């Protein structure tokens, strides 16, 4: 029996960021209680900015509750640019959140995306092994994996038609993305799916067709890479605003 998709539709803007922040805090408090730290893979682009700002906001309800000193930040994917580049997902998270919260520098695990792409991917995989210290054959299990969705149904840097969608061995890869004429560095499906909690955070009508294709469309991971995200032993929540959910046949608000 296919595991039911957990899907929530909220009003956009602040309500979406607030619902996502509640998810982060709930999982962070549980992870610290259970194993003394919280590991989270951040997504990039623009949708998560409101969430990151809200988590860090000094007069918001989340900053004081966040176990910043026990949280380890990784990125599910990164553009192949230096850390101070306008396209850098690391820079975006630094400017909207990390620069203004008490997270130890050693807990911020950025992709060395200024290096040649393959070298950056290999280095990042080493960083995962160093922190998670997995036994042979085990995968790094993030407490939380935040994911976005592109209008072309890509997620992380798994773009339509790229072979990384089918990667089963490597944890981090450096695919060439023809659509953007650039390399990306990205977690592969095994790592993305090993997380205890995956949250797809999607807003805007421009994503509605991709949301419908991924959730209700025929299985075709090459065309709709978001479909490859299926938690192996965790749970998945889709958090959508009304516009992003507008083409779904059955939405629960
Ligand atoms: C990136 C992201 C990517 C993002 C989607 C949605 O590096 O761009 O990690 O997977 O989540 O492209 O981006 P928006 O939220 O900006 O629409």
% of residues, the chain, pLDDT over 70 = 96
Nearest atom within ligand 1 for CA of residue 75: 9
Position 20 scores a pLDDT of 98
The answer to whether residues 7 and 212 touch, using CB atoms and an 8 Å cutoff, is no
CATH entry 3.30.930.10 includes domain 18-218: no
Question: Which amino acid residue places its CA nearest to atom 8 of ligand 1?
Answer: 45
**What pTM does this model have?**
0.96
Give the Cα separation of 82 and 104 in Å (integer).
21
Q: What is the pLDDT of residues 221-234, one digit of tens each?
A: 999 999 999 999 99
Question: Which amino acid residue places its CA nearest to atom 12 of ligand 1?
Answer: 150
pLDDT band at 83 (very low <50, low <70, confident <90, very high): very high
Nearest atom within ligand 1 for CA of residue 79: 7
Q: What is the pLDDT of residues 14-72, one digit of tens each?
A: 999 999 999 999 999 999 999 999 999 999 999 999 999 999 999 999 999 999 999 99
Mean pLDDT for all residues in the chain: 96
pLDDT band at 159 (very low <50, low <70, confident <90, very high): very high
Pairing mode, strands 71-75 and 38-42: parallel
State which of 149, 151, 186 you would mutate to test the pocket of ligand 1, scoring each by most atoms of that ligand within 8 A of its C-beta: 149
Q: What is the pLDDT of residues 165-205, one digit of tens each?
A: 999 999 999 999 999 999 999 999 999 999 999 999 999 99
State which of 40, 44, 203 you would mutate to test the pocket of ligand 1, scoring each by most atoms of that ligand within 8 A of its C-beta: 44
How far lies 133's CA from each of 27, 125, 188, in Å?
A: 21, 11, 18
In this structure, the residues whose C-beta lies within 6 A of any atom of ligand 1 are: 43-47, 77, 89, 148-150, 154-156
The answer on pLDDT for 240 being more than 70 is yes
How far lies 129's CA from each of 44, 229, 241, in Å?
A: 22, 22, 36
Position 143 scores a pLDDT of 98
State which of 17, 148, 149, 172 you would mutate to test the pocket of ligand 1, scoring each by most atoms of that ligand within 8 A of its C-beta: 148
| Domain segments of the chain as ranges | 18-218
Give the Cα separation of 152 and 94 in Å (integer).
27
Position 1 scores a pLDDT of 42
CA 34–ligand 1 middle distance (angstroms)? 31
3-state secondary structure of 100: helix
Give the Cα separation of 61 and 57 in Å (integer).
8
State which of 81, 150, 211 you would mutate to test the pocket of ligand 1, scoring each by most atoms of that ligand within 8 A of its C-beta: 150
The answer to whether residues 113 and 82 touch, using CB atoms and an 8 Å cutoff, is yes
Question: Which amino acid residue places its CA nearest to atom 3 of ligand 1?
Answer: 156
Give the Cα separation of 35 and 19 in Å (integer).
24
List all residues 6 or more positions away from 106 whose beta carbon is below 8 Å from its beta carbon.
none
CA 78–ligand 1 middle distance (angstroms)? 10
The answer on pLDDT for 3 being more than 90 is no
Give the Cα separation of 90 and 78 in Å (integer).
7
Q: What is the pLDDT of residues 97-118, one digit of tens each?
A: 999 999 999 999 999 999 999 9
Position 2 scores a pLDDT of 41
Token pair of 48 as six digits:
């998560």
DSSP symbol at 148? -
State the average pLDDT over residues 131-136: 94
List all residues 6 or more positions away from 82 whose beta carbon is below 8 Å from its beta carbon.
88, 113, 114
């Amino acid at each position: 029996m296919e595991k039911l998709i957990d899907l929530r539709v909220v009003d956009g803007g602040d309500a979406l960021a607030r619902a996502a922040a509640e998810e982060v805090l709930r999982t962070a408090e549980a992870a610290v209680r259970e194993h003394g730290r919280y590991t989270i893979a951040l997504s990039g682009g623009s949708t998560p900015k409101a969430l990151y700002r809200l988590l860090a906001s000094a007069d918001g309800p989340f900053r004081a509750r966040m176990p910043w000193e026990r949280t380890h930040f990784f990125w599910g994917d990164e553009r192949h640019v230096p850390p101070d580049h306008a396209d850098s997902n690391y820079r975006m998270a630094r400017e909207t959140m990390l620069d203004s919260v008490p997270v130890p520098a050693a807990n911020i695990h950025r992709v060395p995306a200024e290096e040649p792409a393959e070298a950056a991917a290999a280095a990042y995989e080493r960083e995962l092994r160093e922190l998670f210290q997995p036994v042979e054959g085990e995968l790094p299990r993030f407490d939380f994996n935040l994911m976005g969705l592109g209008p072309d149904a890509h997620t992380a840097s798994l773009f339509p038609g790229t072979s990384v969608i089918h990667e089963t061995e490597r944890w981090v890869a450096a695919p060439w993305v023809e659509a953007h004429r650039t390399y990306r560095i990205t977690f592969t499906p095994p790592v993305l799916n090993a997380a205890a909690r995956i949250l797809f955070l999607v807003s805007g009508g421009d994503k509605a067709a991709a949301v419908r294709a991924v959730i209700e469309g025929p299985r075709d991971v090459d065309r709709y890479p978001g479909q490859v995200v299926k938690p192996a032993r965790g749970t998945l929540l889709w958090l959508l605003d009304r516009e992003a959910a507008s083409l779904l046949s059955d939405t629960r608000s």
